Amino acid sequence: MNLIVPHLPVLQVAIPLIAAPICVLFTFGGHRKLAWLFTLSISWICLLIAGALLSRVVLETDISYAIGSWPPPFGIEYRVDPINAFVLLIISGVSAIALPFARLSVEKEIESDRHVLFYTCYLLCLTGLLGVTITGDAFNIFVFLEISSLSTYVLIATGVRQDRRALTAAYNYLILGTIGATFFVIGIGLLYMVTGTLNIADLAERLKPLSDNRVVHAGFAFIIIGTCLKLALFPMHAWLPNAYTYAPSLVTVFLAATSTKVSVYVLLRFLFTVFGPTYDFVNLTFEFVLLPLAIVAMFAGSVTAIFQTNVKRLFAYSSVAQLGYMMLGVSLCNIPGLMATILHIFNHALMKGALFMALGCVVYRLGAISLGSMKGLGRRMPWTMGALTLAGLSLIGVPGTVGFISKWHLILGTLESGYWPIAILIVGSSLLAVIYIWNIVEVAYLEKETSREQTLKEVPMTMLAPLWVLVILNFYFGIDTDLTTRVARNVAATFLGGG
Amino acid sequence: MIEALISHYNYWLIIILMMLGLYVVVSRGNLVKKIVGLNIFQTSVFLLYISLSKVSGGTAPILTGKPESFSNPLPHVLILTAIVVGISTTALGLALVVRIRESYGTIEEDDILIAERSQDVSERNGGSA
Amino acid sequence: MSNQSALILAILIPLLGGIGISLLRRAPNLREACTLVSSLVLAFVVYSLLPKILSGATVSFTFKEILPDLALEFNVEPLGMVFACIASGLWIINSLYSIGYMRGNQEGNQTRFYIYFTIAISSSMGIAFAGNMFTLFIFYEILTLSTYPLVAHKQNSDAKSGARIYLGLLIGTSIGFQLVAIIWTYLITGTLDFTPAGILKGKIDPTLLPILLALYMFGIGKAALMPFHRWLPSAMVAPTPVSALLHAVAVVKAGVFTVLKVVIYIFGIEFLSETGASTWLIWVASFTVLAASIVAITKDNLKARLAYSTISQLSYIVLGAALANGLGILGGGLHIVTHAVGKITLFMCAGAIYVATHKTEISEMTGLGRKMPFTFAAFAIGSLSIIGLPPFAGTWSKWYLALAAANAEIWTVIGVYMLSSLLNVWYLLSIVAKGFFAPADELSDRVQPKIQEAPILCVLPPCLTALGCLALFFFAEHIVELLRPIAS
Amino acid sequence: MRHHLILRVVSKMLIPFILLFGLYVQFHGDFGPGGGFQAGVIFAAAFILYALVFGDDQARKVIPDKALILLVPMGLLIYALTGFAGILLGGKFLDYDVLSSDPTQGQHLGILVIELGVGITVAAVMISIFRAYAGRTKAIDKEDW
């Protein structure tokens, strides 16, 4: 045990990292089918590690791991505290649930000779996301961010078999993502220029006397814009809808549930751990940049979603709106608001994971997911559409689901700050969600089916089971909120108290 | 004023380069040219890091036993990583351009947009019919 | 059976019934038997709680803390007991009626119909027994969602647009106003528990009180206070058993029940009457009473007329709550019962007429009473009860409501009650008169020569509830006894 | 470019030296400027030059595609396994001190192995990238260029 337990932080990243090259080797000797099984088991190992890490940081104390035994401010440090342990759990959990679903979906959507490389990229993406989350070194964040982004571009482009627009979507994401990452690295460079350190904890210490330094301000601005581009905050969301729409189903599930969340985490890390709300310029950012953009995002995303006929794109725009909720919680800068953001990182992963997975099931049978092709699908694929409806209810924020929990805290946060008109805006935008969800429900259940759908059958059990696991989790964590709220409260208190 | 301009000439150059790169990315419709712009943009950041690591009068950071002031080696290492990232991005971007050329027959953004829009429209009509 | 387990069972039994129904979907007879059995068991469980509540005991059960200090909590108190008794009791009769109606009309998707019905009943039980506003809100929303498939049952464009209005208004008001009000309350008081004297006293600026009250009252869209009443007529596209039980008993009564709960346990009657924050509500409710009655007169479609009548009658109860005195609460609580029994009779009669003749417009019903005497007799009794004439149940609730108005010395309200009763006479008894006394339409006789009573399962239930109207006149005292602790 | 005699002769003479220089940069990286990244690129440059002058098919005979697919993960594996070796020998991940009894020698050994892994991967990746473009069938007409 001594060989494993103290090394858990690095194993979290190193295991999927080493798994990726091993996965390539499955190209040889007709073991192609094993790639999926291998990826699945790696994901489950990651989930176990993340669970162990979370329980340790919640019950005991933060963990610091020095790579190569170089002590923290000099070497790269992996630092686990409740917030990133929580995000780690989300990433590896979504991956562990999505992969059982992946086998059939990937077989259907991607050429068989590319499967091995697809799963390799997937593992790299997983590595990158886990790495961004766990590392305590600012430049290391950039490196892992690029590992995950580069593999994401490839993963999105593999959707080309379904639709050639996957290529342009990946290309646009590549351009914007690289600009975002470069902005981020400029910011890091500027901070390094004045502080001479890259370690996040150390950076926070050394920045304290420098709050009036203009280089620090510039660095802050670059970092914020870079991460906001990566997390698709309106109006920097242009890459997201097409990327989600044309990516293969598995990729959409995984990305929608994790990648933007990781960027939100990075933003939180910089806003609260490195800078902290005691700095004037951070507070001004909250009030004059993030807050208005978040509100516009909530509405622009939802309204655009209403007019979409491609259901995947519809939910992609809804993601833009949901990111608005998260950013709103951040910009409120009080305990319930931050709790709402952290809860929503988790909750949104659950509901969007379920929604996109249900759409993946539809794609598996229909090959297309325009609203028109879903007529009467409720009768042909009752379990899939049932799951879609229930996850949709969670997205709306019906009580008893996870969506309600985050919305409750968010409204509480706005009222506590005295922004009660914003509370009404939040409520209004969730009513917009009712409209677009109900569009789908009406088409699926109340429209007459066309002759083409008559022969449709429900998808196999291996796809339904993970889908329903996610749906049930949507309700479970809507009722048993012990774990999630405890972590969220803990983190919010540290962020606001420690900043 | 002039003093400030001249003494920080490296930063000015970097900023000009940076803006040039970004401008190319935004203004060019040719997908390959966009990637070239992206490269210029990234390179300016590499220069930023490297120029800030230079200590005036410092030598190369190789231990010789003599007490000398030497330039900070860390940014070089960081930028080595960033260069690798840049190469990967360029390679991937160009690969995508090749594939786009194969399926759209063009690498001009405007033509691609036209092709995609007509695809959108036909999909929408097909879907509702 | 302990009290607590009875409480839990009351919520679970309908759900179990629903699971049974889905398992038995291939065997219609067994499926309907399952519905009936679960309704009977539910009624038994609910009524077994009655003696304990009458003796003044309280039963409560806390399930799980969902949000800080907000648990899923159940608590049986007299008002909830009344609501649960009436909903579960009428479910038995309505189950019988559903079988007759759905088979008589050869409706499709019957399994789905029965399953969602059970979910709706289960959430009604949840509303009745909710121990805090939070729990109530959860079940309130489940009730809205579970009735959506029932309203959209026919799946044609009418059903679709009706269901859209239904869902849009109910979800819109509940999320837009009610949720905001709940969170506001929680923010200033730190609790949402139903406490006998209210929780707001001394915690809120009295000038804001009317705004909070307005958020609650308009937020509880199910109480159909104008201008948020449109969903109720729209919901009439549903099959008649749904209109009868859900839109005359469960859903709308859940609305006014919530209104009463909020007024009694969140605001506190005393606090409300001291501050006079509910004065505006008296006028809004009065307006709704009269306006809805007048609209009802103009409607030729029988179910639409009954729907507007329901809107008007619901505002009686809101009015009782707005008067903010014990008698008003008493009258409101009693009116939940008497109106439920009366209105379900009327709806079931409307359904029976539809099954037998496929007629929906009142103008086509001339002379039908002579061919369907039982149906029309039941209809007449139900109408009289709603109008409030002795010896039928409606008399008492109107009596108490009028007394409450007198007590509050707002004489206009008494005028409103009287005027609306007159309008009731007009729009309800005119149907009865048309059915019994108007000469039969000869043309329709020739086209459809053999009009006779609907199947026995469609006729028996309204007759039973009509008898119930009569019986309640004599037993109303028991309900008053039950409710008196909360009204004092 | 089969008929460019001078090119062929010069590159035949140059390629061994390029490879040798690559090896120098690779193994001298822990003392002077150099390391796996640079060495890998120099090494790959030799193969790319060969492919340019003598044709892609000829180059494929020297390093077949399969070998490349094997080499790319191999370098990464060397890197990662060195990291795990640190753990197995009782240190931290990528801890070179424990690789040998003497920490300084351990550092030396560690960085050499790591850079070797990097060098192999970089060289293989560069050649693969070149091949991915060069090996594509002609889709673009002469006039288009």
Locus of tokens 């506001």? C184
> What confidence category does residue C1 fall into, taking pLDDT thresholds of 50, 70 and 90?
low
Q: Measured between alpha carbons, how far is C193 from C130 in angstroms, rounded to an integer?
A: 9
> Any idea which fold B2-128 has?
Helix Hairpins (1.10.287)
Cβ contact C478:C113 at 8 Å: no
> Rounded to 5 degrees, what are φ and ψ at C208?
-85, -15
Question: DSSP assignment, residue D93?
Answer: T
| pLDDT tens by residue, D126-144 | 999 888 888 776 555 555 5
Decide if pLDDT at C246 tops 90: no
Cβ-based neighbour number of residue C93 at 10 Å: 23
pLDDT of residue B129: 36
Residue among A18, A20, A68 whose CB faces D95 most closely: A68
Stretch among B66-70, C129-133, C304-308, C390-394 having the lowest mean pLDDT = B66-70
pLDDT of residue D41: 92
pLDDT of residue A418: 84
Decide if pLDDT at C269 tops 70: yes
Q: Which of A402, A493, A179, D6 is nearest to B38 (CA)?
A: A179
pLDDT of residue D140: 54
The SS3 assignment for D32 reads coil
Q: What sign has the CA pseudo-torsion D132, D134, D138, D142?
A: positive
The whole-angstrom distance between A424's CA and the closest CA on chain D is 51
Q: Measured between alpha carbons, how far is A154 from A243 in angstroms, rounded to an integer?
A: 11
Direct distance between the N- and C-terminal alpha carbons of chain A, in angstroms, rounded to an integer? 36
For residue A237, is it within any domain? no
Q: Which of A386, A241, A376, A250 is nearest to A311 (CA)?
A: A241
Q: Measured between alpha carbons, how far is D54 from C258 in angstroms, rounded to an integer?
A: 86
pLDDT of residue C488: 67
Section B19-36 average pLDDT: 92
User: Which residues span the domain enclosing C342?
Assistant: 278-488
Helix (H) / strand (E) element for C65: namely strand C59-67
Rg (CA), chain D: 19
Number of residues assigned to chain B = 129
Q: Which residues of A touch C145 (CB under 8 A)?
A: 393, 398
Q: Which residues of B touch A160 (CB under 8 A)?
A: 99, 103
More confident residue, C452 or C483: C483
Cβ contact C387:C311 at 8 Å: no
More confident residue, B110 or D139: B110
- What residues does C301 pair with on adjacent strands? C361
The two structure tokens encoding residue A104: 């059939």
DSSP-assigned states of every residue in A340-385:
HHHHHHHHHHHHHHHHHHHHHHHHHHHS--BGGGGTTHHHHSHHHH
Q: Which residues of A touch B85 (CB under 8 A)?
A: 143, 146, 150, 181
Residue among B88, B112, B127 whose CB faces A168 most closely: B112
Q: Which residues of A touch B96 (CB under 8 A)?
A: 153, 157, 167, 170-171, 174
For residue C54, is it within any domain? no
Cβ contact C343:C306 at 8 Å: yes
Q: Is D76 on the interface with A (CB under 8 A)?
A: yes
Q: Which residues of B touch D33 (CB under 8 A)?
A: 60
Cβ contact C469:C381 at 8 Å: yes
ipTM over 0.90: no
Decide if pLDDT at B127 tops 60: no
| HSE-CB for C231 with a 13 A CA cutoff | 29
| Residues of A engaging B, defined by a Cβ cutoff of 8 Å | 139, 142-143, 146, 150, 153-154, 157, 160, 164-165, 167-168, 170-171, 174-175, 178-179, 181-182, 185-186, 189, 192-193, 309-310, 368, 370-373
Q: Which residues of A touch C185 (CB under 8 A)?
A: none
pLDDT of residue A277: 82
Section C242-256 average pLDDT: 81
Helix (H) / strand (E) element for A259: namely none
User: Which residues span the domain enclosing A498?
Assistant: 305-499
D69 with A67: Cβ contact below 8 A: no
pLDDT of residue B126: 61
Helix (H) / strand (E) element for C242: namely none
Q: Measured between alpha carbons, how far is C237 from C163 in angstroms, rounded to an integer?
A: 8
Cβ-based neighbour number of residue B45 at 10 Å: 23
Decide if pLDDT at D1 tops 60: no
Cβ contact C267:C198 at 8 Å: yes
How many contacts, defined by CB atoms under 8 Å, are there between B and D?
17
Note if the bond before C391 is cis, omega within 30 degrees: yes
Domain ranges of chain B: 2-128
Mutate to test the interface with A, among B78, B114, B124 (most CBs of A within 10 A): B78
Q: In the structure, how many helices (H) and strands (E) does chain A have?
A: 21, 2
Cβ contact A236:A327 at 8 Å: no
Q: Is D72 on the interface with A (CB under 8 A)?
A: yes
B128 with A171: Cβ contact below 8 A: no
The whole-angstrom distance between D71's CA and the closest CA on chain B is 17
* Category of A198 on φ-ψ map: left (φ > 0), alpha (ψ -120 to 50) or beta: alpha
For residue C475, is it within any domain? yes
Section D84-110 average pLDDT: 82
Cβ contact A63:A56 at 8 Å: yes
Cβ-based neighbour number of residue C106 at 10 Å: 7
Identity of the amino acid at A37: L
Cβ contact A26:A42 at 8 Å: no
Chain A's closest residue to C136, CA to CA, is A399
The whole-angstrom distance between C118's CA and the closest CA on chain A is 18
Direct distance between the N- and C-terminal alpha carbons of chain D, in angstroms, rounded to an integer? 19
Identity of the amino acid at C433: A
| pLDDT tens by residue, C151-180 | 888 778 888 888 888 888 888 888 888 888
Cβ contact C329:C320 at 8 Å: yes
Cβ contact A436:A318 at 8 Å: yes
A168 with B82: Cβ contact below 8 A: no
Q: Measured between alpha carbons, how far is A27 from C54 in angstroms, rounded to an integer?
A: 76
- What residues does C59 pair with on adjacent strands? C76
Which of the other chains make 3 or more beta carbon contacts under 8 angstroms with chain C? A
Q: What is the mean pLDDT of chain C?
A: 82
Chain D's closest residue to A20, CA to CA, is D73
Cα angle C376, C380, C385; round to 5: 150
Q: Which of A274, A287, A294 is nearest to A228 (CA)?
A: A294
Locus of tokens 């917009």? A432
Locus of tokens 């410092």? B58
More confident residue, A13 or C62: A13
Mutate to test the interface with D, among B80, B85, B89, B92 (most CBs of D within 10 A): B80
Identity of the amino acid at A94: V
Per-residue pLDDT of chain A (499 residues; tens, 9 = 90+): 567 788 888 889 999 999 998 888 888 877 778 889 999 999 999 999 999 999 888 888 888 888 877 887 778 889 998 888 999 999 999 999 999 998 888 888 888 888 888 999 999 999 999 999 999 899 999 999 999 999 999 999 998 888 888 999 999 999 999 999 999 999 999 999 888 888 888 888 888 888 888 889 999 999 999 999 998 888 888 899 999 999 999 999 999 999 999 999 999 999 988 888 888 888 888 888 889 999 999 999 999 999 988 899 999 999 999 999 999 999 888 888 999 999 999 999 999 999 999 999 988 888 778 888 888 888 888 889 999 999 999 998 888 889 888 988 999 899 888 888 888 888 888 889 888 998 888 888 887 777 665 677 888 888 899 999 999 999 999 888 888 888 888 888 888 875 4
| pLDDT tens by residue, C430-450 | 888 877 777 766 555 555 556
Contacting residues for A32 by C-beta, under 8 A, at least 6 apart: A26, A112, A113, A115, A116
The SS3 assignment for D140 reads coil
D76 with A27: Cβ contact below 8 A: no
User: Which residues span the domain enclosing D77?
Assistant: 5-135
The SS3 assignment for B16 reads helix
Query: Between the CA of residue A31 and those of A25, C284, C327, what are the distances in Å?
Result: 9, 75, 81
Q: Measured between alpha carbons, how far is C62 from A441 in angstroms, rounded to an integer?
A: 34
Contacting residues for B76 by C-beta, under 8 A, at least 6 apart: B49, B50, B53
Decide if pLDDT at C116 tops 90: no
For residue D54, is it within any domain? yes
> Rounded to 5 degrees, what are φ and ψ at A352?
-70, -35
Decide if pLDDT at B43 tops 90: yes
Pairing of the two strands A77-80 and A63-66: antiparallel
- Could you give the dihedral angle defined by the CA atoms of residues C446, C448, C454 and C455, in that order, rounded to the nearest 10 degrees? 120
Q: Which of C398, C306, C387, C389 is nearest to C344 (CA)?
A: C306
pLDDT of residue A452: 62
Q: In the structure, how many helices (H) and strands (E) does chain B have?
A: 5, 0
3-state helix, strand, coil in chain D (%, to 5): 75, 0, 25
Most confident residue range from C49-53, C261-265, C272-276: C261-265
| pLDDT tens by residue, C290-303 | 888 888 888 888 88
Contacting residues for A432 by C-beta, under 8 A, at least 6 apart: A299, A302, A303, A305, A306, A321
For residue A244, is it within any domain? no
Number of domains observed in the structure of chain A: 1
pLDDT of residue A349: 93
For residue A451, is it within any domain? yes
Q: Measured between alpha carbons, how far is D87 from D90 in angstroms, rounded to an integer?
A: 5
Q: Is C164 on the interface with A (CB under 8 A)?
A: yes
Q: Which of D127, D67, D122, D74 is nearest to A20 (CA)?
A: D74
Note if the bond before C227 is cis, omega within 30 degrees: yes
How many contacts, defined by CB atoms under 8 Å, are there between A and C?
71
Chain C's closest residue to A425, CA to CA, is C176
Chains D and C touch, contact meaning at least 3 pairs of CB atoms under 8 angstroms apart:
no
Angle separating helix axes A115-134 and A34-59, nearest 10 degrees:
10
For residue C256, is it within any domain? no
Q: Measured between alpha carbons, how far is C243 from C90 in angstroms, rounded to an integer?
A: 13
Q: Is D129 on the interface with A (CB under 8 A)?
A: no
Chain D's closest residue to A68, CA to CA, is D95
pLDDT of residue A144: 94
More confident residue, A35 or C457: A35
* Alpha helices (runs of H) in A67-81, residue ranges in sequence order: none
pLDDT of residue A323: 92
Query: Between the CA of residue A58 and those of A85, A86, A137, A486, C337, what are the distances in Å?
Result: 9, 10, 22, 9, 52
